[in-house]
Amino acid sequence: MTDKTLTMTFDGGEQTYPLLSGSVGPDVVDIRKLYPDTGMFTYDPGFTSTASCQSAITFIDGEKGILLHRGYPIDQLAEQSSFMEVAYLLLHGELPKKNELDTFTYTISRHTMLHEQLSTFYRGFRRDAHPMAVMCGVVGALSAFYHDSTDITDPLQRMIASHRLIAKMPTIAAMAYKYTIGQPFVYPQNSLSYTGNFLRMTFGVPAEPYEVNSVVERAMRRIFILHADHEQNASTSTVRLAGSSGANPFACIAAGIACLWGPAHGGANEAALNMLREIGRPERIPEYIARAKDKDDPFRLMGFGHRVYKNYDPRAKVMQQTAQEVLDELGISDPVLDTARELEQIALKDDYFVEKKLYPNVDFYSGVILNAIGFPTEMFTALFALARTVGWVAQWNEMISDPEQKIGRPRQLYVGAKRRDFVPVDKR
């Protein structure tokens, strides 16, 4: 709380509300008493001006293009830390000491296998099912298998559920992929890193040893870290809203996966690569730029623009550099990367994009990397879900242990019919 206030005047009165200050970032007006004081609600579709909670996990300054996890800049984490360190940091608030990291890594590795019966669950899906459809179903179904970690009032059960979700997500995603291509599921190998294990479960086969390529492993680690958390985005808010009713964590994360699937959110990486492929060659870029600017055309440059970033997304910078590294290592010359770079250059100089502060976001280059590694486009959003699970469980745990937590229940501006009497069908 600060001693600053905001006074609102309206027909019939004036009310003063306190301003709350965070450790960094804009103050927020505490309008919790607005309705009892005035009988009015606020109206903010899309929550463009609304802080829905307080959080100590992630800070974004969209104007300056800054992203911090527990205070640490994302580029430092992407460059210097392991995914397990970032997961620990997000969950517990501090970077782990060596022994804490070892224990955490060991604990996560002990939860990588799925209940064997879940593999029969997969067989209920069509082979051409989208991996996100499978992920929604299988993750939601975890609540039917792990009853000993669904009591959300018990902090120990909450932490076990969190470990299970982080540990099992790579197995679930890899199995979704294996199922669509008709290959046998590959069991986890706990001596490998989190990312190495995931690559082996995805691209390995039981008939041969699988060697993890260190450049690819590093690229995957960076991609996972860059996607681990992003403050109160749509899917995280969905997880929090679902969790606010007391729903179990597996159900809440399934809700987050459903929200992430949309093309305006996690589905943008798939859409961005499809768009780059459709553009095909740099000469066609002006045509697509013109379409993106045309008010009568619903087309948007996928991988461009962000609700919060009005500057270069700091994650996109790391992605761009990683894309080049992976292509060099794998000896791939992909015209899609050239198209992406050229498109970025043209858009960044175009008045429309400059005025609206539209810059490449995390999804603009990630598709190029994932494609080079060998993931089909349908898997891209599943990888996003895998990595974001860490942020979702951290945010969910924070919410459940917040003494101010209440069931999320927004109000509305009602614009429908006023009270009227029922008319029997023969009189309508």
Nearest to 389 by CA among 197, 173, 131, 68: 173
Least Å distance, CB 89 to ligand CMC, is 20
Residues 267, 259: Cα–Cα separation, whole Å = 10
Helix (H) or strand (E) holding 73, with range, is strand 72-73
- Is 356 a residue that touches ligand CMC (CB under 6 A)? yes
With CB under 6 A, what is the number of residues at the site for ligand CMC? 19
Nearest to 356 by CA among 301, 316, 314, 318: 301
Stretch that binds ligand CMC, among 75-83, 124-132, 133-141, 301-309 (CB under 6 A): 301-309
Q: Residue 220: exposed, middle, or buried by beta-carbon count in 10 A (0-12, 13-18, 19+)?
A: buried
Helix (H, G, I), strand (E, B) or coil at 17: strand
Q: Note if 154 is an active site residue.
A: no
Residues 6+ apart with CB under 8 A from 116: none
Helix (H, G, I), strand (E, B) or coil at 209: coil
Residues 203, 201: Cα–Cα separation, whole Å = 6
Helix (H, G, I), strand (E, B) or coil at 8: strand
Stretch that binds ligand CMC, among 166-174, 194-202, 356-364, 375-383 (CB under 6 A): 356-364
Least Å distance, CB 276 to ligand CMC, is 12
Closer by beta carbon to ligand CMC, 92 or else 307? 307
Closer by beta carbon to ligand CMC, 100 or else 350? 350
For the CA atoms of 117, 120, 121, 127, the dihedral, rounded to the nearest 10 degrees, stands at 150
- Is 306 a residue that touches ligand CMC (CB under 6 A)? yes
How far from 1 is each of 22, 27, 61, 65, CA to CA, in Å?
9, 9, 21, 27
Q: Note if 306 is an active site residue.
A: yes
Least Å distance, CB 303 to ligand CMC, is 5
Whether 317 contacts 73, CB under 8 Å: no
Stretch that binds ligand CMC, among 25-33, 69-77, 297-305, 407-415 (CB under 6 A): 297-305
Stretch that binds ligand CMC, among 17-25, 264-272, 389-397, 418-426 (CB under 6 A): 264-272
- Is 277 a residue that touches ligand CMC (CB under 6 A)? no
Stretch that binds ligand CMC, among 25-33, 94-102, 359-367, 407-415 (CB under 6 A): 359-367
Instruction: Identify the residue whose tokens are 């459940």.
Output: 400
Closer by beta carbon to ligand CMC, 337 or else 358? 358
- Is 362 a residue that touches ligand CMC (CB under 6 A)? yes
Closer by beta carbon to ligand CMC, 69 or else 265? 265
Q: Residue 15: exposed, middle, or buried by beta-carbon count in 10 A (0-12, 13-18, 19+)?
A: middle
Least Å distance, CB 195 to ligand CMC, is 20
- Is 367 a residue that touches ligand CMC (CB under 6 A)? no
Of residues 55, 105, 143, 233, which one binds ligand CMC by CB under 6 A? 233
- Is 278 a residue that touches ligand CMC (CB under 6 A)? no
What's the one-letter identity of residue 103? T
- Is 265 a residue that touches ligand CMC (CB under 6 A)? yes
Least Å distance, CB 1 to ligand CMC, is 30
Query: Looking at the annotation, which residues are catalytic?
Result: 306, 363
Give residues in contact with ligand CMC (CB under 6 A): 233, 264-266, 268, 292, 300-307, 356, 358, 361-363
